[in-house]
Amino acid sequence: MAISLIDNELALICPDPVIAIDRKGIITLFNPAAENLLGYRQQEMVGRFQIAELYASPESAREIKRLMYQTNNGLKGQIIGHKTHLQAKEGTMIPIQLSACLIEEHGVEVGSVGFFRDLTERLALERSLKMLSVTDSLTGLYNQRHFHTVLNQEIARSKRYRHPLSLICIDLDNFKSVNDTLGHVEGDHALRFVGESIAGILRNIDYGFRYGGDEFMVLLPETEQASADALAQRLIDYFNRNKPNNLVEISQDNDPVALSIGIAEYLADEPAGVFIKRADLAMYRAKKEPGSRVVLAE
């Protein structure tokens, strides 16, 4: 037997999935937690199912076997905290953490037993926390810190493959009049609307950021300046057609609440700061005239 009777009884009440196998890899124990995780019943697994069929690929199964027999920190026949995937009955890949050891009887190896911890919730939480760390909570766009990370990555990719890269700098004109007239709550609503307008025109490969205050950035990989200009015009059209009534009313009594937009296409080997500055200066040239305007950087 690959696992003793008392171990079998403990495995049945263990909250984590436990699977034991013989030397040929045939499953000899499949506890209730393993049933819940993978959707198989004990009767269809024990004595019938190869453990290798549960792993994501033959390579994953071979890697686990290799780890089991290598000497690790002076110990052989143990795996501690190895991350991999198991395939559930319906085909879903479940991320797990495996700890396992060989089982011997009278000094002879008879099989092994593994304890599997489901990492689905933990990984989802990690992804959620990571998203919170790079996202602006007000607009739902990425934040300024993430902007610089992505910008450097995309500049490196643009240099490597000699593909175009464009940057759109956006400022919400006369935002102060919104805060002064309607209050900061409505000011936040206005910024959310800009964020929604940007998100509404982005392609799958594009990135939208709230750069700070009422300034936004859109990074467009694989995009020349002319195509970026067309996308910016779509943004203005969306903004003007869907502008909330309070912003329309304020625009009638004050200078219009509008978008000033500057666009720069990356020039070979220019520093990231210069690239940003060219888009920023183009945006300030756009601000010199009322209404939503787009200016291309020189």
Q: Report the run of H or E that residue 65 belongs to, with start and end.
A: helix 58-69
- Residue 33 CB partners (closer than 8 Å, separation 6+): 14, 15, 16, 17, 18
Q: Given the residues 22, 118, 136, 214, select the one marked as catalytic.
A: 214
Rg (CA), the chain: 29
3-state helix, strand, coil in the chain (%, to 5): 45, 30, 25
Alpha-carbon gap, residue 265 to 167, rounded angstroms: 6
173 is annotated as an active-site residue: no
Of 65, 32, 63, 67, the residue nearest 46 (C-alpha): 32
Catalytic residues: 214
